[in-house]
Amino acid sequence: MKRYIVNKNEVQPIKALEGIYRRTLIYNDDMMLCLFILKKGVKIPLHNHKETQIGYVISGKVKFFTEESEFIAKEGDSYVFNSNEKHGAFILEDTEVIDVFNPSRDDYK
């Protein structure tokens, strides 16, 4: 049965890394919406994936880095990483972000 609505409280968080928790909220073949809870002081190593990633910072502050640059995203900011673009992050404050992936990530289903 196709789902048209999902409440974040219905989805159990998955521990992606120590201090990084993901709730895969809703998806189809083309797009996926995820909520991440990121704990202060955690580093997400440089990585890449075939899916384009667009995000929005609900609360907190994150320092993102690529092979070529770095930037700080805070509450209200949005960001994008292209397909296969290497990126990582250092969490400056306890943070909540929403990420959209296109196409959906099979490893997050």
75 assigned to some structural domain = yes
CATH label of the domain that carries residue 53: 2.60.120.10
Q: What is the pLDDT of residue 1?
A: 60
Helices (H), the chain: none
Structural domain containing residue 91: 30-108
**How many domains does the structure of the chain reveal?**
1
4 assigned to some structural domain = no
pLDDT tens digits for range 2-24? 779 999 999 999 999 999 999 99
pLDDT tens digits for range 72-81? 999 999 999 9
Residue pointed to by tokens 């930037």? 71
96 assigned to some structural domain = yes
The answer to whether residues 57 and 76 touch, using CB atoms and an 8 Å cutoff, is yes
